[in-house]
Chains A and B, each alone.
Chain A
Amino acid sequence: MKGPSGNGPKSDRGACSTSARDAAYVRKGLFLAALTGVIFSLDGPILKQGLVKEPFSIPEFWLLAPLFAAGCHDISAACLSLVLNVAQGKGREVFRTFCSKPGRYCVMGAFMGAPLGMGGYLMGISLAGPAYALPISTLYPAIAAVLARFFLKERISARAMCGLALCVAGAFTVGWSAPQGGVGGQAFYLGLGFAFLAAFGWASEGVCVTAGMDFIEPVVALNVYQIVSSLLYMLVIVPAAFVLLGRTQPGLDAADLLAQALASPGLPFCIAAGLVGCVSYRCWYTAMNMTGVCRAMALNVTYALWGILFSALFTNVTVTRNLVAGAVVIVAGIVLVVMQGKGGTALRQTQEGL
């Protein structure tokens, strides 16, 4: 251990090895961010397999079914995360994080991500239709970049910003489909508002947890997020959806419906999606901590591309012009995001860095 007087300037050899280590650190973060896009693209299709099974597929349960499935997804993800953390000797860290100040950011992130993000997304799809809601919800990395710039003072180079814009534009193009029927009306515009709310919810979730991860390990922060999110679904969101359903359909037996849902052949798919989602989120949170919100989210949003590519490879989905154009734009964006400029290893603007 050296006293402050012992802090001499780094030698050239030391500086070189430090910068090489820093570059390797960021490269690992970028790899994890890219990997999260690939893994997360499998999450949605698995969850969808569960949602086409009864009772989730009954039209009257349009709101309750996805919320219930999302709740099961988060609970299984939280359980797997806890098992992995305990196995790695970090079980006590989860409890400590709940009692710490930076842990509050993770809790706040869960409040933003679960009700605003997922809730807004489902309401947006329901009221405005997927043709509008899906592309709008892919705007979350752009919103996150703005929030990260102001709240985290994250360094975002012009090149990374261009790359992010291209990734978002590509994901928008891939997700876009020609709307069916007329548009307009109060409910439609309300749906657009909810889709924007979802994008804001997911963006602010990323920024909140990244703020917390300055002092908390990403896998522990994720576990805290998942536990809070699971509790929100179990105690607030799903019961509220049950109450809403009971009001719109008088005479409905909530207990019987719950028993049907728990015995549904779709439930194992929701749980499996949660396990896949857990792995993907572990990579994503670690990537956000290592490379910053902007770059990690730009690479994460490529799940839109991977999802359709996998569907084209393994199912009968056809490759459209939108998909090809979107893919080209996303790849161009990735190249810009991944290319490292000067100062690519320092994530924040601090007094020392200015």
Chain B
Amino acid sequence: METDSKTATNYSTKILDGIIFKNMLSCGAEQLEKQKKAIDALNVFPVPDGDTGTNMNLTYRAAYQSAEKVATGSVHDVAAAASMGSLMGARGNSGVILSQILRGIAKGLEGMDQANALQLAQALQTGVDTAYKAVMRPIEGTILTVSRETAKGAYNKAKSGESDILQVLKAGLERGEATLAKTPDMLPVLKQAGVVDAGGKGFLTIISGWIAALEGKVPEAKSTLSDEVPSTVTTGIVEVGTLDFPYCTEFLVKGNDLEPEKIKQGLIDKGDSLLVVGTSEVVKIHIHTKNPGLILDYAVKLGTLHEVQIHNMLAQNEAAAHQAKEEDLSTTTVDQQEEQLKEQLEEELDFKEYGIVAVAMGEGIAEIFSSLGVEQVVFGGQTMNPSTSDLAEAVLKVKAKNVFILPNNGNIIMAASQVNEVVDKQQVYVIPTKSIPQAISALLAFNSDNLPEENVEAMTEALKQVVSGEVTYAVRDSQFGNLEIAEGDILGLIEDKITTTGRDVFEVAKKVLENMNWREKDIVTIFYGKDMAEEEVNRLSEWLESEKPDIEVEIYAGRQPLYYYILGVE
């Protein structure tokens, strides 16, 4: 199939032409796509908003899609197209820098149909020089530093007489990796957070993709790229016919008050490669799914559907058409949303006494909250903290004089406490909940007959009665206290502190519960994540009941991402 022609190619790595460069760009895109979540998690600088990986991925994807369309075999033509694509598609700080590096590389390859190792190394160097020109005060310890050292490593190797492009890039990567490891020493904010620079990591991820291409890795069919592909699935050849989500479904929804983030949450378990972008009036949805009908059913409830396109990615000609168009949605912004918020405020005469806003990850948890009287759920959590304005927006939607916010994460409490300054006609109270079990306890302590202050006191008091635990996995190697943690290890946390590590979810969950002294308590509450099998959950509850028959075990499908279990003991 598509891959056949490419596996047959037996190219020399002494000469880089447009075809090989396209392959490299493509493998780079694959690697970046797979790593973007991990890169997001590293993002603490310049603004800790956890989007570096996503932004770089969008930028680089724009570059490579533009390069894919080049019909000639000239390396410069491909580089120039990539440069133009990344310029148009640049997103975020690292994305802009990446676009400048690609622009410089294209400049360095000017007029060349083919490039040798030294010429490529020089082009990389030009890329870095170009990138450095566009900033008044370069900050060291960022993607700039990492790319500069990578280029230097490659250039030194090429100058020493190495003519194999693969070896030259490998030398660059090696130097780049060493520099990346040193970024925490250059930029204190990285050291505090215990991470390396996210943009630098993204850059090296791309370079390692280029290297993989030169080592003969065949780019997978683009359509199978997804967030969730585990890194072990890098054998290269996709068995067409076994795609889990064969229908690429893409369309616009037009309406009022659309909430891209919420729509995203609603669709997240219905397929992969999900992309939801837009404004309150028009949202573009892109998803690979088993059943496009379900997606359209869901969306038609939100507004009107436009430009509906469904491709079966198993059919190759359709796959090609699919790939030709993944361009960004040009967003139109009108202040209608603001208008509506104002109208809502004018209706404040009908305001009731109390309303509750809570932050949750996972639809299941959101549903539980709703059933306990939470009116507005803001989606967010450890890796995606909602901002003050997200929370304020939710507060404004609750037509109540007194609004309680349950942030449910230590990192969100600050943002929540600022909401009161932003909304003027409502009184906002923040209950400092740091976990989902705490939120449940607080909600149960709420009594609408009491005064606001009494409720705050009762709810805050209730937090102390519950111990919270979590079971998740490590997204990168790290060290915590005396614990050596490897990527992929299962982590057990109590009140956000890592207390146990292991390789098995069940074992770690047991240890966490033991550390929470569950045997001395009455109720164990289990919220299981979206990837947990029911048998696995039952195994845990059966174990609990066999160990202590009079324990009360409550099990909820939290359907939260990342966390296998969220546990409460009281």
Q: Do A and B come from one complex?
A: no
Point out residues on A near B: beta carbons under 8 Å: none
